[in-house]
C-alpha cells in the first residue's frame, strides 16, 4: 500500500512537505490488550456471495468458510466489525449445528458457540449477514462520481472484517471464490477473472462469478461495483487492464504502458512468473491511501494512476510510474509472500519501495532515479534521527490503531534504504539470487525478517544476518566520525545521531554495517564496521569519501581538512548521488549544532551550478526552513532573499526559456530554481513570469511547458488575488483531469491573502472537498508561515466541522500538521487542545508534532545568531 505521503501534487515547497506528514507517523507501544485470534481454527477456503445495495448504502452476504478444527471445540472465534449476523451454522463431521453469536466490539471479534462439541477435522461454516456501505474509506464503502455511486473496498490492514466475517490476520491465508450480485447497468471487478455473468436473480440485477484466488491473506481481497471502463493490454501473456470512471478512462493509457513494462521486468527479476492470469489497476474517486496492492485488482487514488502525458509534469509522470511499480512489486512481495504479522510490514513496504526505484530507473534512465533515492534517504535519516523513532520491526503492534500507525516513513523508506545498503555491499547479482531464494521458499506462505536475511546470508556467504539484525532491530542511525587517513587506514567511531542536540545519546548503542569507500578508479571498497571496530582499511584515492554512491545508511563526519577537500571538489570529485549525501550530512550537522547555517549555505552556493535537478532541489531544500525558522526580522528576510537572487538568478538565466528539446532533468532543474527564486528570493522577474505563465496555463494547459507551468502556478498563488482563487476553485470543481483537479485544490491552501485563507479553510471542510483531501488542505495551511495561525484558529473554532471530515489516516495528517509552530506558547496550545479533543489513532502524531516544535525552538535558539552573523558578512561583501 502506498500511503498519502506519496501524493504528487502541483506544489510549492510548503505544500510538498505538508502532504508528506503521514509518512512521519511513528508508532509507540500502548497498553491496549492484544486482539489476536486463537489458532485452533484454520480457514482453508471462502465461498463468498455479496449483494450491494448502492441506493441505500448497504449490502447483504452469504459465505461458506471451509476450516480445519485443530482440536475439539464448541466455539469458533473470528473477526467482524459493523456486521449484523442473520444466522450461523456449521457442518462438521457430525450433525448440523446452529451457533449463538456473541460480539466483542473492542476486539472486533465474533464468537460462535455451538450446543455440542465439534470434533477435530474439516468443517464448514455458513454465515448470513448484512452490513453498511460506509463513508470512512475503509472496509466495503461508498464512493461517488458524477452522480453515480460505487461500492469499493480497502481492507489493509484490518478492515476485511467490515465486509465479511473472516479470520482477518495475515497468516490465515486461504482461497477466495467470490460472487457479486450487482445492478444490471453496473459491472464488477475482483481479484479473479469473471468466469460467468448471468441475469438475475432480480429483474434489475446480474450475477458475476469470479475465478478462485490463489491462497492469500484477507487484507488482499477486493471487489468493486459500479460503472467502470477500462483500457486493455498484455504482458508476458497476462491480460492487463487500467480502469476508471467513464469520464476519466481517457487518462488510463499511460499507466497501462508502465504496467506492461513492470510486469515483464518483475517476471525476469524475480524468476517467478506473475501468478494470476489477469491484472487490473483501478482508479477510485474516493480513496484514502495512495494505492493498495490487492492480488490481481490493485486500487489507486486517481492522481496516482491517471494522467494526460501531453499536459502532465515530469513529477506527475514519475509519480504514476513509481506508484504503479510499487503496487505491482507487491504482487510478489506481500501477496505471493506475506509477512507473518504486521510488525514485519516492512517486508512488504520496504521491498516494494526498493523495487519501485529499480523498475522505474530501468524504464526511464533519463529521470535519474538513483539521485531521487539519494535525496529520499536524506529525509529518511532526518526522520530516524528524532527521539520518537522506532525500529524497522515494530516492538508492539496488536490493535488496529497500533497497526495503522506502522505505515510510516520507517516502514517504507528506512527499510528500503537498508535493503539498498545491503544490495550495494553484496552486489546486485548476489542480492538478486537471495531475493529469488527467499520468494521461492515462502511463496503462497508467510515469512519473517529472519527468513529474508537468512536467505541472503546463505546465498552470499557474508554476514547479512548480523548487518540486517542490527539495522532492522535497532532504532535510529549512527554517525560515523572519521579521522585523518594514514597508512592505508582510517580511525572511525560511531554513536547514535540525533537532530536535536539536547537529546541524550543512549549508552552502548552500536551497529554492524558495511562502510563503502570511494576508490581512485571510481569504484568502491567496502569494509565491515562492527561495534568494537576502531579503524578500517581504506583504498588508494585522491579524495577521501566514506559513503560511495551515497548508499550507506549512516551519517558521516570528517576532519576539517578532509571535509574542506570534499567541498572544494564537490562538483569534480563526487558523483551526483554523493553530492546529495554530502549536503544532507552537512544540513543534519547544522540541525544538531555541529556546524553552522552559514557553513551549509556556503556549501549550497558551491553546488549552485550543478546541472542535476535532484542535486539542486536537495541542496536548496533547507532554504525554506532557514527562511521560516531562522530569519527573524523583515530585514533579515530581505537580506537572505537578496543572497538567493544574487546566487541563483544567473544559474536560472543560463538555462534559457523552455524548449521542446529540453530533457526531463533540465525541465525539473529550471522549475526548482524558479520555485526558490519566486518563493524565497521574491525575484521580481520570476514573480512577473509566474503571473504571466499562470494566465497562459489556465487558458490553455497545452500552451506551456507543464513542469514549469505548475511551479509558476504555485508561486503565483502565494500572492494571488480573488480572481485567481476563483479560477482555481473552478478548475477543481469542473475539470476531469485528476492532475489539474488536485493541483488546483492544493493551490487554494497556499494563498497568503487573509480573506482568501479563510475562504480556503471553509471550503476544505464544506463537504465540497472529498474527505480524502480535506485534512491535507488544512495541513498545507498550517505549514504556510503567513496562514499558520489563521489556520490553527479556524481549526479550533470549527472543530465539529473539521472532525466530521477526518478519516483514520487523515486525522493523523491534521494533528501532525500542527508541528510547524515554533514557540513554547503554540506548543502548549496544541498539546492542551488535543488533550481535550482526541483524534483516533493520532497519539503518535501528536507526540511527533510536539517534538518537532521543541526541535524548532532549540534550532532557532542555536542557529539564529549564526544566520545573523553570516547575513552581515554577505551584506559587507
Catalytic member of 260, 327, 575, 750:
327
Q: What are phi and psi of 494, to 5 degrees?
A: -135, 145
The reply to whether 636 belongs to the active site is no
Cis status, amide bond into 494, omega within 30 of 0:
no
How far is it, in rounded angstroms, from Cα 55 to Cα 71? 44
Long-range contacts of 203-206 (CB under 8 A, 24+ apart): 205/51, 205/181, 206/181, 206/182
Backbone Cα Rg of the chain: 27
Question: Is residue 430 packed enough to be buried (19+ CB in 10 Å), middle (13-18) or exposed (0-12)?
Answer: middle
First CA to last CA across the chain, in angstroms? Answer: 52
**Nearest Cα residue to 519 out of 599, 438, 575:** 575
How far is it, in rounded angstroms, from Cα 50 to Cα 278? 22
Q: Which residues pair with 337 in a beta bridge?
A: 333, 445
Residue 592: strand, helix, or coil: coil
- Cell numbers at residue 158, please? 484490518
Question: Is residue 521 packed enough to be buried (19+ CB in 10 Å), middle (13-18) or exposed (0-12)?
Answer: exposed
DSSP per-residue letters across 721-739: -HHHHHHHHHHHHH---HH
Per residue in 258-278, is it b (16+ CB within 10 Å) or e — as a string? bbbbbbebbbebbeeebbbeb
**Nearest Cα residue to 715 out of 675, 685, 688, 748:** 675
Helix (H) / strand (E) element for 379: namely helix 369-384
Query: Which residue, chain included where needed, has cell 483516533?
Result: 840
Cβ distance 770 to 288 under 8 Å?
no
DSSP per-residue letters across 293-354: --TTEEEEEGGGT---TTT--HHHHHHHHHHHHHHHHHTTBTTTEEESSGGGTHHHHHHHHH
Cβ distance 267 to 273 under 8 Å?
yes
Cβ distance 252 to 306 under 8 Å?
yes
The per-type count for the chain, helices as H runs and strands as E runs, is 29, 28
Beta strands in 80-227 (DSSP E): 83-91, 97-98, 100-104, 109-118, 121-132, 139-145, 148-154, 175-183, 187-190, 194-199, 205-210, 223-226
DSSP per-residue letters across 855-870: HHHHHHHHHHHHHHHH
**Nearest Cα residue to 23 out of 454, 409, 465:** 409
Alpha-helical runs (H) found in 607-737: 613-620, 622-625, 634-655, 664-679, 684-699, 706-718, 722-734
Residue 366: strand, helix, or coil: helix
Cβ distance 617 to 579 under 8 Å?
no
Region of residue 444 (left: phi > 0; alpha: psi -120 to 50; beta: else):
left
3-state SS record for 424-471: HHHCHHHHHHHHHHHHHHHCCEEECHHHHHHHHHHHHCCCHHHHHHHH
Distances from the Cα of 35 to the Cαs of 43, 95, 875, in angstroms?
18, 31, 63
Sequence-distant (6+) residues with CB within 8 A of 227 are 148, 150, 185, 186, 187, 245, 246
CB-hemisphere CA count at 13 Å for 488?
3
Question: What amino acid positions are annotated as catalytic residues?
Answer: 327
Amino acid at each position: 500500500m502506498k500511503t498519502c505521503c506519496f501524493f504528487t501534487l502541483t506544489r510549492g515547497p510548503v505544500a510538498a512537505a505538508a502532504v508528506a506528514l503521514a509518512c512521519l507517523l511513528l508508532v509507540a507501544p500502548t497498553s491496549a490488550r492484544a486482539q489476536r485470534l486463537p489458532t485452533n481454527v484454520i480457514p482453508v477456503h471462502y465461498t463468498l456471495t455479496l449483494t450491494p445495495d448502492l441506493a441505500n448504502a448497504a449490502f447483504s452476504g452469504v459465505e461458506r468458510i471451509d476450516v480445519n478444527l485443530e482440536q475439539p471445540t464448541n466455539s469458533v472465534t473470528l473477526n467482524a466489525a459493523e456486521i449484523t449476523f442473520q444466522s450461523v451454522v456449521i457442518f462438521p463431521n457430525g450433525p448440523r449445528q446452529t451457533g449463538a453469536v456473541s460480539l466483542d466490539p473492542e476486539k472486533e471479534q465474533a464468537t460462535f458457540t455451538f450446543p455440542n462439541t465439534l470434533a477435530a477435522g474439516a468443517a464448514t461454516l455458513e454465515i448470513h449477514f448484512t452490513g453498511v456501505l460506509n463513508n470512512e474509506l475503509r472496509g466495503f464503502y461508498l464512493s461517488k462520481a458524477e452522480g453515480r455511486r460505487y461500492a469499493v473496498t480497502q481492507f489493509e490492514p484490518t478492515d476485511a472484517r467490515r465486509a465479511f466475517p473472516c479470520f482477518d490476520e495475515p497468516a490465515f491465508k486461504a482461497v477466495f471464490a467470490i460472487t457479486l450480485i450487482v445492478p444490471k447497468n453496473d459491472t464488477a471487478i475482483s481479484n479473479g477473472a469473471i468466469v460467468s455473468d448471468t441475469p438475475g436473480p432480480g429483474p434489475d440485477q446480474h450475477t458475476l462469478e469470479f475465478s478462485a484466488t490463489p491462497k492469500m491473506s484477507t487484507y488482499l481481497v477486493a471487489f468493486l461495483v459500479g460503472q467502470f471502463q477500462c483500457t486493455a493490454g498484455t504482458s508476458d501473456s497476462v491480460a492487463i487492464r487500467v480502469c476508471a470512471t467513464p469520464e476519466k478512462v481517457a487518462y488510463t493509457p499511460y499507466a497501462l504502458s508502465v504496467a506492461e513494462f513492470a510486469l515483464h521486468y518483475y517476471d525476469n527479476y524475480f524468476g517467478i512468473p506473475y501468478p494470476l492470469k489477469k491484472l487490473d489497476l483501478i482508479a477510485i474517486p474516493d480513496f484514502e491511501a495512495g494505492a493498495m496492492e490487492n492480488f490481481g485488482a490493485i486500487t489507486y487514488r486517481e492522481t496516482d494512476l491517471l494522467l494526460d502525458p501531453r499536459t502532465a509534469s515530469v513529477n506527475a509522470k514519475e509519480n504514476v510510474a513509481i506508484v504503479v511499480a510499487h503496487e505491482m512489486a507487491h504482487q510478489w512481495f506481500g501477496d505471493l509472500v506475506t509477512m507473518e504479522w504486521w510488525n514485519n510490514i516492512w517486508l512488504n513496504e520496504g521491498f516494494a519501495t526498493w523495487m519501485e526505484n529499480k523498475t522505474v530507473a530501468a524504464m526511464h534512465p533519463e529521470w535519474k532515479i538513483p539521485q531521487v533515492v539519494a535525496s529520499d534517504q536524506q529525509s529518511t535519516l532526518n526522520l530516524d534521527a528524532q527521539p520518537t523513532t522506532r525500529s524497522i520491526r515494530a516492538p508492539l503492534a496488536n490493535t488496529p490503531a497500533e497497526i495503522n500507525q506502522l505505515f510510516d516513513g520507517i516502514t517504507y523508506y528506512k527499510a528500503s534504504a537498508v535493503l539498498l545498503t545491503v544490495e550495494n555491499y553484496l552486489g546486485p547479482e548476489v542480492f538478486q539470487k537471495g531475493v529469488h531464494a527467499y520468494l521461492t521458499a515462502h511463496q503462497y506462505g508467510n515469512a519473517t525478517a529472519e527468513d529474508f536475511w537468512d536467505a541472503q546470508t546463505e546465498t552470499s556467504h557474508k554476514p547479512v544476518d548480523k548487518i540486517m539484525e542490527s539495522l532492522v532491530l535497532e532504532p535510529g542511525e549512527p554517525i560515523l566520525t572519521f579521522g585523518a587517513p594514514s597508512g592505508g587506514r582510517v580511525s572511525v567511531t560511531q554513536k547514535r545521531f540525533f537532530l536535536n542536540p539536547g537529546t541524550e545519546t543512549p549508552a552502548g548503542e552500536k551497529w554492524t554495517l558495511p562502510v563503502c569507500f570511494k576508490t581512485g578508479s571510481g569504484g568502491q571498497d567496502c569494509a565491515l564496521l562492527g561495534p568494537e571496530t576502531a579503524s578500517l582499511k581504506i583504498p588508494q584515492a585522491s579524495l577521501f569519501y566514506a559513503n560511495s554512491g551515497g548508499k550507506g545508511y549512516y551519517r558521516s563526519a570528517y576532519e576539517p581538512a578532509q571535509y574542506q577537500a570534499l567541498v572544494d571538489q564537490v562538483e569534480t570529485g563526487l558523483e551526483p548521488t554523493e553530492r546529495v549525501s554530502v549536503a544532507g550530512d552537512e544540513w543534519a550537522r547544522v540541525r544538531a549544532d555541529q556546524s553552522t547555517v552559514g557553513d551549509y549555505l556556503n556549501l549550497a552556493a558551491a553546488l549552485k551550478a550543478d546541472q542535476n535537478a535532484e542535486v539542486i532541489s536537495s541542496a536548496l531544500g533547507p532554504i525554506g526552513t532557514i527562511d521560516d525558522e531562522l530569519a527573524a526580522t523583515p530585514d533579515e528576510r530581505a537580506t537572505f532573499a537578496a543572497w538567493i537572487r544574487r546566487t541563483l538568478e544567473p544559474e536560472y538565466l543560463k538555462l534559457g526559456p523552455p524548449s521542446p528539446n529540453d530533457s526531463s532533468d533540465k525541465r525539473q532543474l529550471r522549475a526548482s530554481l524558479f520555485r526558490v527564486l519566486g518563493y524565497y528570493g521574491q525575484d521580481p522577474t520570476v514573480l512577473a513570469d509566474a503571473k504571466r505563465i499562470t494566465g497562459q496555463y489556465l487558458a490553455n494547459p497545452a500552451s506551456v511547458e507543464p513542469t514549469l507551468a505548475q511551479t509558476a502556478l504555485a508561486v503565483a498563488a502565494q500572492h494571488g488575488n480573488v480572481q485567481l482563487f476563483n479560477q482555481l476553485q473552478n478548475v477543481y470543481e469542473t475539470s476531469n483531469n485528476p492532475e489539474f483537479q488536485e493541483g488546483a485544490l492544493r493551490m487554494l491552501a497556499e494563498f497568503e491573502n487573509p480573506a482568501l485563507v479563510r475562504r480556503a479553510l471553509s471550503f476544505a471542510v464544506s463537504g465540497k472537498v472529498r474527505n480524502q483531501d480535506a485534512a491535507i488542505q488544512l495541513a498545507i495551511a498550517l505549514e504556510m508561515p503567513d496562514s499558520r495561525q489563521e489556520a490553527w484558529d479556524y481549526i479550533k473554532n470549527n472543530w465539529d466541522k473539521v472532525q466530521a471530515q477526518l478519516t483514520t489516516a487523515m486525522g493523523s495528517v491534521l494533528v501532525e500538521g500542527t508541528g510547524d509552530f515554533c514557540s513554547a506558547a503554540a506548543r502548549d496550545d496544541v498539546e492542551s487542545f488535543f488533550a481535550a479533543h482526541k483524534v483516533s489513532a493520532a497519539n503518535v502524531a501528536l507526540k511527533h508534532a510536539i517534538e518537532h516544535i521543541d526541535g524548532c525552538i532549540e534550532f532557532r535558539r542555536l542557529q539564529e545568531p549564526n544566520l545573523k552573523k553570516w547575513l552581515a558578512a554577505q551584506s559587507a561583501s
